[in-house]
Structure 1
């Protein structure tokens, strides 16, 4: 594969060298970022075609799609001899919960309050599962039986506890705002509860990978569509994995040199640079059961606070 962007070639080689090669996760990224906004379903052959420049062969795509279908992420529709795949209703809910973080705009202002969830009344196995699910939502552990978050969506919290059959057996407190939103003891507690140093290292690695790509592609008068598609897909794939670990804490609780700020700015800039070319590449190479991909809806252009 002959690419104009040397940095993009390096990123693709780096992706190909990972073991295990998590093709299923990349396919979910592709659906969430590019296919859902344009109808939500594509021909299997289109997926194979789109992922081939990543060094992912047809057999691996088919195996990964089969596994995602068996796990309840994807559903197939057969039209003649062709299979078209889209997210299941459950898969779409999981996707929306994960990707809402990726494209959100400015963080809302924090009022200094906290939400505390006490899990002591759950049996040990349920407590472990619920705690894991809440930590995925961004909660941090204060004690073995209690987790906390400063800016959680209460409706989303209740829905998650309901899905885990734990809503009736957990205790939820909402604290009042304090005079000092981010005292030194609180900052130290936050650093320990959320392991911010490990997350910060992940953001530094992200910046080291994608800043050179941004610098190279921004010098091109018109970045090639295929390279835009590959760059955007890898960008969102790596950024999404970081955000799944990021509790998205208020600015008042974060270090002054928090790398997450620079990572978000870089992601937004590179996405804005590549999205048009990527969409053109998708239009040319992808088809649905009804024919060409429909155009993205208005919500697509509101990503990262507005793409235009």
Structure 2
């Protein structure tokens, strides 16, 4: 196996504290959702144990995800499958549009605003704020949330799915005026106020520094010495690291981003490395991913080559 792959997997294993629930979410979204969104717990344990996540930690993390309504259980005799809930599936499908896209979205030069115009209790206000941040909104003060391209109807549907229907009456969604002129200074100022892009740029640069040597090695040596298991493990860690970056990224259109923005380099790097790992890692999943009844779910053809599927510019 490539030394760079081994080094990355060893670095991951040696982390003082792996957020197992977050890693399991990454695995569900990338590997399990395309195969029906369900898995036998024993199979999940076998897939993740080589990353030195022990059985007890995996069981505890899956139980918490079920408690948070990401997953539900379906029993088959003495075994049980963990299955994505409808809200969990919606979250993953929304995330997929960001993870597997090859370009930042185009901008129609209209800002989407959600204003808090009614009374909200402190807990409800924090829940709304967290849900909007999850969808990439920035904050301008305590009562104004902004995004350049979100579909407001989908945002409200997402709040309802998060159990926040009672808070909608306190919110006012609206569009700012359409501007067809060149980007204005006020746009740049709004971006600076709503998002901390400096810290995010550093995180993207660090991602590139970690994974570019691995891609370079694979371009030189191909995959001849990489096992199916290690291809799956690296694919998992790659998507997990990239997903964690996207959780912090508002996915601003390129016209609103600083020059030489490293996010696009990270996106293309992730795409190229993922596509090289995908065939080997899928063979590993064919062998280890199974359901409680012993059946092996095939990958849904609709998810094949997802990086191309979500590429709005066709590149």
TM-score exceeds 0.5: yes
Give the structure 1 partner of residue 232 of structure 2: 229
Matches within 5 A, 1:137-176: 137-162=135-160, 163-164=163-164, 165-176=166-177
Give the structure 2 partner of residue 20 of structure 1: 17
Structure showing greater relative contact order (alpha-carbon pairs closer than 8 Å, 6 or more residues apart): 2
Question: What is the aligned-residue RMSD (CA, Å)?
Answer: 2.1
2:114 alignment partner, SS class: strand
Matches within 5 A, 1:152-231: 152-162=150-160, 163-164=163-164, 165-222=166-223, 223-231=226-234
C-alpha offsets along residues 104-139 of structure 1, whole Å, 9 cap, x if unaligned?
344443121111111142325133332232122111
User: 2: CA distance between counterparts of 1:263 and 1:210?
Assistant: 9
Please state how far the C-alpha of 1:297 moved relative to its aligned partner: 1.5
Q: For residues 39 and 173 of structure 1, do their structure 2 counterparts lie closer, same or farther at Cα, with a shift above 3 Å needed?
A: closer
2:220 alignment partner, SS class: coil
Please state how far the C-alpha of 1:142 moved relative to its aligned partner: 2.0
Gaps of at least 5 residues in structure 2 are none
Do 2:120 and 2:170's aligned partners in 1 also have CA atoms closer than 8 Å? no
Count of matched residue positions in the alignment of Structure 1 and Structure 2: 305
Q: Which moved more, 1:287-296 or 1:55-64?
A: 287-296
User: 1: CA distance between counterparts of 2:206 and 2:176?
Assistant: 36
**Aligned counterpart in structure 2 of residue 251 of structure 1, from 250, 254, 260:** 254
Do 2:35 and 2:298's aligned partners in 1 also have CA atoms closer than 8 Å? yes
State yes or no: 1:117 paired with 2:120.
Answer: no
Please state how far the C-alpha of 1:155 moved relative to its aligned partner: 2.0
User: 2: CA distance between counterparts of 1:124 and 1:70?
Assistant: 24
Give the structure 2 partner of residue 271 of structure 1: 274
User: 2: CA distance between counterparts of 1:201 and 1:263?
Assistant: 11
Give the structure 2 partner of residue 6 of structure 1: 3
Do 1:283 and 1:292's aligned partners in 2 also have CA atoms closer than 8 Å? no
Please state how far the C-alpha of 1:262 moved relative to its aligned partner: 0.2
TM-score, normalised relative to structure 2:
0.89
Do 2:146 and 2:194's aligned partners in 1 also have CA atoms closer than 8 Å? no
Give the structure 1 partner of residue 39 of structure 2: 42
Structure 1 moving runs of 4+ over 4 Å: none
C-alpha offsets along residues 29-73 of structure 1, whole Å, 9 cap, x if unaligned?
111100111122222221111112111122222222222223322
